[in-house]
Structure 1
Amino acid sequence: MLKTKRKFLFFASLIFTFSSILAINLPSNPSNTVLAEVDDTAQYFLDLLREDDPYLTARALKHIKENWEKGYEIMLLEAIYFARSKRHSNKLLQILEQKTGKKFGLDYDKWFQWIWNKESAYPDAYFEYKSKLHRLIDPKFGKYFLNRSHQSTIRLDEVRWGGVLQDGIPPLRNPKMIIPLEANYLKDSAIVFGIEVNGDARAYPKQILAWHEMFVDEVGGVPVAGVYCTLCGTVILYKTEHEGVNHQMGTSGFLYRSNKLMYDKATQSLWSTLEGEPVIGPLVGKGIQLDYLSVVTTTWGEWKKRHPDTKVLSLDTGHRRDYREGVAYRDYFATDDLMFTVPEIDKSLKNKDEILAIRLPEQTNENLAISSRFLKRKSIYQNKIGNTSFTVFTDKSGAHRVFKTGTLDFLEYDGISTAKDSNGNTWTIEENNLEGPNGKTIERLHSFNAFWFGYKAAYPDVTLIK
């Protein structure tokens, strides 16, 4: 992970080397608000990165030391993080340690955690600074934060660059699908993310989607986006159309508590992957929340048994990647280490232990995380969230499907597709509902898998069942 982080920082340093002289401290241009509306505080912190101009750097240091405010901590820390040389980082670090009384050295995780566990205190100028700072990496990044200090529902200091440009991890847009007989690259044991919308069954192999982290398509006549956050282990499927507007989603390049942030092309607002709603930008407060659709994590062998008419991703994605199983993020998945830290590590489970997340935000504030290891020992698990009773069926592949079963009590499950209730009735487990006697159906309850650390970071009050 340290190697990956160094690669990210090296990439950023190269960009700063060639861009800082051109992009920082340019004269005002009335036709360009990105350049014209940067306040003095933001500019002083940007000048800290002007290692090519000792006068500007010295002036900025003097001003910041003499006018120090509590909210400057995160701005100075980000300047240290992106400084091109260790010598300059250490020079800035001395100021940070002097003003805060903390001695964390260049252990960025400790600095970030210390800041995040205090009350938020950054000034509005931080939005200007963050916009201009990250615009040096990708000009598109500037729009995410500029003039948006009053259009945010999350802490800006917890929004971190993930090391790639906008759509630098390229989403698969209307990807080519093939029939199972043509998918000779897939082993039956390969992990796939399966969906079925209006009878249209699709499988998205992890070994491909890990390189792209998102697919945008029309499935069963419904425009959708499937979002895979490799760092936090979540795969969530959304309807992208809301009140007549089809939001064109992409990968922002930023994270919030190690969870991927999406963006929409029209407004460049940042969106929560877990919530399906905008969290920074002009769409905040507009009542927009995308509808969830069900997705299951299973094996290719089990999925095609259940859905012989399924389609599956072709290797012909339009991109050149090593799509062999287990190649993408191999080092990250091989350990319990994090690439990007979170405010607090909860050791109730290992960081990357898988949980099943169940929420009904429209009905209750309750939030459940059920250990996948626990569920694999209980092929039938019944509980309640709010006033909704549910049953989790975990099949032989370890895939979880959750249904709103009310007062029904299920006693038997064959581990494939058939269950029996306490009244002796037989039910068939489909992707989106349970089918029972006399044509009765029971709705599936939205749920998804996630790594424990990322879900707990996003929802500190979650109840863990293990």
Structure 2
Amino acid sequence: MSITRRSLAGLIGAAAVLPGAAWAQQDPVLEAVRSTLYGSTSEFEQGMVFLIQRGNPDVVPSLITGMRYGQRRRDEIAEVMQTLTYENLGTDWFDWMLWQEKNAQLVPHPSLIPFKREVLLGIDTNFDDFLRPEYLQRDKMKIRLEEISWGGVVKDGIPSLDNPKLIPASRADYLKDDDLVFGVSINGDKRAYPLRIMGWHEMFNDVIGGVPVALAYCTLCGSGILFETQVAGRRKPLVFGSSGFLYRSNKLMFDRDTHSLWNQYTGKPVVGSLVNSGIELKQRPLVITTWASWKTSHTDTRVLSLKTGHRRNYGSGVVYQEYFASPELMFPVLVDQSRHQQKDYVFAVRQFGAARAWPLDAFNQTRVINDAIGNRQLVLIGNPDKRAVRAYERQSHRFTAADGGLVDETGRKWTLTEEALIGPDGTRLPRVAGHISYWFAWDNYLGDAASVYRG
């Protein structure tokens, strides 16, 4: 059946003699888009004719949802969208989502809210915790409802690790020397969280060195960000989980107190009661490096135990193996690839009222980069083989690598720690929080408001 190539006049006539059709009972637009998934053949045909005759592309976001979940009617839905938009994008949901992101001026019909709620709550009724109608109005959200996509799991389908069991480095015989870990040190409390474990959980809530923190790890965008979770004005630290939703291939985490959705990349609430609270989670420094490097320089470190309370294959290179090895993305997002490929790694800093990224491959030429962000002078020490980058304020100093260490412009040697660079006279230059990320995530969330180091 081809909606647009068969006799349109005949279908319109059929619809006209059936005023009691299900799609016309309440909001005719809502019932028409519902027919893509829930209507009979005749209801679907009548609904599509109604939308064509109406002629407004504001229903395309709903039809994109219908096409993703209504595979048997995909061809016909695509024809209607092409008629309404004059775009010949075929039947690929991926391509239509990119078109939708590109056309931010298109305001969806209000029926998108009840339709998308119905579809997603049909997958998991617990999604109602996040998708309350009062928070889904366009002026109440910091992101676009039409671009929120289901990531393939239910609420907490990727379970967070809350105050997980830790063991001494000497007992971590399950780890290989070249396994990557998130290394964290706060107030002398040193921890290692292996990526091969965190890839299955994408979130931990813990207290390190007396500071409540959460590691938000988005495997899809390659970024693990350590946030402080004690927020001014709130009695208890926030505790986070994974919602099951994505926005432009970035996980939307949620806090268990208000069930607001948060952008993992920015640490800001984007849907829910906290949207206009002014909260932005403070970042803490962390580093990705090899287990061999971390345990050698932090002999008193503790590390995650395999006893997480969950049954997963925590073997090296198991979790997201195909995705990490591929240059392709799993979910649709527009990205400028004129300078960098979408899954090239960058080191990202958002501090001092500014944002700047350093391509990881810049450290192939030199392990030490003297640069600046905003009005602050920085020095960055990186090792692309370990995916490790640390940033520090440098004030007026200019550093170079020498004899396996760091020296300033006068030749004095400085000591590198997780908290600061320490000079021979005891001067301390503080560490600056940053994190590794795929290029596409940086470009998509901060590209217009940020700068990129060009060497």
The TM tier, using the shorter chain, reads 0.7 to 0.9
1:177 aligns to 2:166 (yes or no):
yes
Provide structure 2 residue ranges, at least 5 long, that are not aligned to the other structure.
1-21
1:363 aligns to 2:353 (yes or no):
yes
The residue that corresponds to 1:76 in the other structure is: 63
Decide whether the 8 Å contact of 2:223 with 2:437 is kept in 1: yes
Deviation at 1:358, TM superposition (A): 1.9
Deviation at 1:56, TM superposition (A): 4.2
Deviation at 1:55, TM superposition (A): 5.0
Q: Tell me how far apart the structure 2 counterparts of residues 246 and 66 of structure 1 sit (CA, whole Å).
A: 53
Decide whether the 8 Å contact of 1:240 with 1:290 is kept in 2: yes
The residue that corresponds to 2:80 in the other structure is: 95
Note the alpha carbon deviations across 1:151-190, whole angstroms, 9 max, x for none.
2112222221111111111111111111111111111111
- Match among 135, 157, 162 for residue 151 of structure 2: 162
1:339 aligns to 2:326 (yes or no):
no
**Runs (4+) off by over 6 Å:** none
Q: Tell me how far apart the structure 1 counterparts of residues 247 and 141 of structure 2 sit (CA, whole Å).
A: 13
For 2:170, the aligned partner's letter is L
The residue that corresponds to 1:446 in the other structure is: 433
The residue that corresponds to 2:4 in the other structure is: none
Note the alpha carbon deviations across 1:9-56, whole angstroms, 9 max, x for none.
xxxxxxxxxxxxxxxx9xxxxxxxxxxxx96644542332115x3454
For 1:157, the aligned partner's letter is E
For 1:131, the aligned partner's letter is R
3-state SS of 1:375 partner: helix
- Match among 275, 283, 302 for residue 284 of structure 1: 275
1:374 aligns to 2:365 (yes or no):
no
TM-score, L = length of structure 2: 0.88
Decide whether the 8 Å contact of 2:67 with 2:74 is kept in 1: yes
Deviation at 1:62, TM superposition (A): 4.2
The residue that corresponds to 1:117 in the other structure is: 102
How many positions carry a matched residue from both structures? 422
Decide whether the 8 Å contact of 1:41 with 1:125 is kept in 2: yes
Note the alpha carbon deviations across 1:105-153, whole angstroms, 9 max, x for none.
1122221112211124223432332222211111122342322213211
Note the alpha carbon deviations across 1:289-309, whole angstroms, 9 max, x for none.
111111100000000111111
- Match among 118, 128, 131 for residue 114 of structure 2: 128
The residue that corresponds to 1:4 in the other structure is: none
Decide whether the 8 Å contact of 2:335 with 2:342 is kept in 1: no
For 1:141, the aligned partner's letter is F
For 2:441, the aligned partner's letter is G
The residue that corresponds to 1:265 in the other structure is: 256
3-state SS of 2:221 partner: coil
The residue that corresponds to 1:3 in the other structure is: none
Structure 1 range deviating more: 321-330 or 393-402:
393-402
Decide whether the 8 Å contact of 1:174 with 1:215 is kept in 2: yes
Decide whether the 8 Å contact of 2:52 with 2:83 is kept in 1: no
Structure 1 vs Structure 2: percent identity of aligned residues?
A: 35
1:137 aligns to 2:137 (yes or no):
no
The residue that corresponds to 1:459 in the other structure is: 446
Q: Tell me how far apart the structure 2 counterparts of residues 78 and 403 of structure 1 sit (CA, whole Å).
A: 45
Check 1:262–1:398 CA distance in 2 against 1; reply closer, same or farther (3 A cut).
Answer: closer
For 1:393, the aligned partner's letter is I
Note the alpha carbon deviations across 1:199-232, whole angstroms, 9 max, x for none.
1111011111111111111111221110111111
TM-score, L = length of structure 1: 0.86
RMSD: 2.0
Q: Tell me how far apart the structure 1 counterparts of residues 84 and 388 of structure 2 sit (CA, whole Å).
A: 51
1:254 aligns to 2:245 (yes or no):
yes
Q: Tell me how far apart the structure 2 counterparts of residues 205 and 186 of structure 1 sit (CA, whole Å).
A: 8
Check 1:216–1:177 CA distance in 2 against 1; reply closer, same or farther (3 A cut).
Answer: same
Deviation at 1:459, TM superposition (A): 1.8
Check 1:66–1:386 CA distance in 2 against 1; reply closer, same or farther (3 A cut).
Answer: same
The residue that corresponds to 2:289 in the other structure is: 298
3-state SS of 2:418 partner: coil
Decide whether the 8 Å contact of 2:56 with 2:84 is kept in 1: no
For 1:410, the aligned partner's letter is F
Check 1:197–1:39 CA distance in 2 against 1; reply closer, same or farther (3 A cut).
Answer: farther
